Structure 1
């Protein structure tokens, strides 16, 4: 879990998407609903309650039988947002044992400088807690009725300047009275609880009461609503957030230091996400369980084979008009030297060049048919159509790539029949590839693909760089998964623009 220094709009949006079930879909192994999980937790807690009572009766036969624990009722007007049907609402007190700490008297020297870590809320950093500077003694632990919280306990600051700060213990520790520790009931994911509390930091802080030092209080925490997903979904959400949040962290602190860079953050985060995507990092967890029948190399071989079949078919057609038409040389995959490879990719991926999988062409010439001029401003919806009756035809779903101008390298998916502007060419990509993956790759490298014409200030698409650019080629199924993850994440980046 990356260190978190500040909340951003992007982070809040990602966390909100996570706790409402929008960040993941179709989780395997989620056979048990949140309600069934809650019932199981209550059942186990009642079994332990009865077992403890049976033990107590051995010492005191008149020990009173405890009332059974029941799940909390949640009124409809308490529910803050919608959750998936397989989840259920409960309260924080239903999913863990919450206890605040205390501060041993400073006037008793026997209470301090022992070997038991004693955490103050200033030690919380919204991250794992590995080191705690101050320690108390065994005498203090017993005398002050403090709890030694186990590894994995979730901590939250209840008042003071650090109110709402969080942590997860990586060591056993006690806490002061300003900190509440939760030992989650099995099988609740402590990391899911941690991320949920992080998403609710503002809402919890607003519930704080008091004068100079407002506090949340343990009593408020245990009755706070909690959206409980099936365990497999909890784990999937945690895994997804561990992939996504570091991408925010990579740029967050540097960009947020300067207000004038705020508008650049969405593009920077987008670029970081795309860079992680083409290195196989976004799908690292997915690959562990995915069944992949065809590797990137086998896919590339199939692409080359299909291109050669088409080449021969076109030659056979040409021979019908010209028996002396020359047989074309077969296409072969580009050779790639080891020192050209810019970064490591997964084993079942392979490197190729854009020239292996796509080409640039002009549209067919037409005349005497009035059609809209397809230039960049029109395709972006920023101007009305101009109509021409002479030019090169582009059809719906054709890919048009800008080859001139400051945005050269930008690709448009054409929506209507029209005449290509002079700054466009058609981009033809082989059918065996997942088109959105290739388009995301081109978008990531758009700046690299252009240079200025000799003696002119207008940039243009450098075709040598374009066709020679190295493309990390995943199996087809993984291309689709990469784009699915990207399409979940990129809209969250756009929230920063508002």
Structure 2
């Protein structure tokens, strides 16, 4: 067993237990939707060992890279003498003190341009508007670059007239393509099917000399060592941009040609192993998530107390193995919120005043506010029919529309053309100050007392909800006086427990109805009148208070469990980083 295989198997729990994250699209196996952080670091380690000469053993019988370099230089000199290429300008000398690390036996430090085909200089692609010619020349963009699975044909095209102006970057097939604007370092190798295509300005074309192994050079360019060099040399304009002159000058570790081929074969073998480990991990994670989802759904679907207790006992018996990930804890929290508003979290008390009496008192209070001129009269609520409701409620509960639980309003933004509106200390917020976890962030703007008259104000105990855009449904309880903009609706509860109503508004059942009633595909929006029509299951007031206490206690435990999982995951991620750093030295 090789040292690297042993490193993988000895620390398998570290590589596969570290957190899962979305793929960035850069590096090996970028076609997968998710990557396991530890395996991502393992891939980095494999490439780093490869470019440092530590992945495969050296063979003293191999021709050293210095001889390979001489042949490349001799070829360039002959082509220049024959007038087929211009004579190279001398590149900066490689001073030994510049070398980032000691090389293995037979290796040489070179400038990257030393291994580029002399007939094809590294060059940017076509600077062209985003027009698409259906019968034009295939046009490769950064989105098309994929080191493992490039598309058979690029989606976009450019006109033949534009292509004729950029003959120097027309592809023959087999070139290495690299992102130099925005997604710097993203790589692809042009398949033969791209022959005749041209490339976008955000890409540079690299054709290496036939004296080196192209797959080895592609590994070099994917390594953390080379990528850090490129990213460190970028300058920021509208977005990071890499000058191809810096690519040409980059110090590059060159292995003997036979070792280059051995390195490529070993990297392919180890990357396949990483793919296998990642697939196994993701399959297990998917199965775990489905199991948790199924078991939790049995709680909300329980027919009676006996059925519920049996279902809960099944979960409780395996609690330590079921709730071991952040997503499983989040699913548990959401299930508990749903159970709370279904009347299944705390016992009912037949002596509690029923919810219908509470709703009557709320309507009386609302009428008083209207009579006193402190609120506008709202429109009559639509009759609630059984088809509108999501589930059966316990005795003493009742469905109510949001509008029936208090006063509602939509936010407004004071004119930014009037500085006096914004020279105060009263917080003024938008959707960005409401987090997905239902917290209020500090306001980025403040309004004055004069500005208050130009906006909508919320007070302690009010509930704010985002009602437009990608963050529609985010909500928060207000803990201080503040103003809010037109992308937020507000409910000022009367007589009911604000925290209980907020719990109901955070449930999946409420959020699903919110999306269902919203309009617009690209930008979902729910208008105030439809928002007011959304249903909330209302418990007797005493039970609302019992539910709030129980939910807060349980959510606190869940948050602690989640924090422990995050801490453990961070430890394993740190260990993975240390293993990579120390092994690559």
Q: What interval of TM-score do these two structures reach, taking the shorter chain for normalisation?
A: 0.3 to 0.5
Of Structure 1 and Structure 2, the greater strand share is in 1
Give the number of the structure whose alpha-carbon radius of gyration is greater: 2
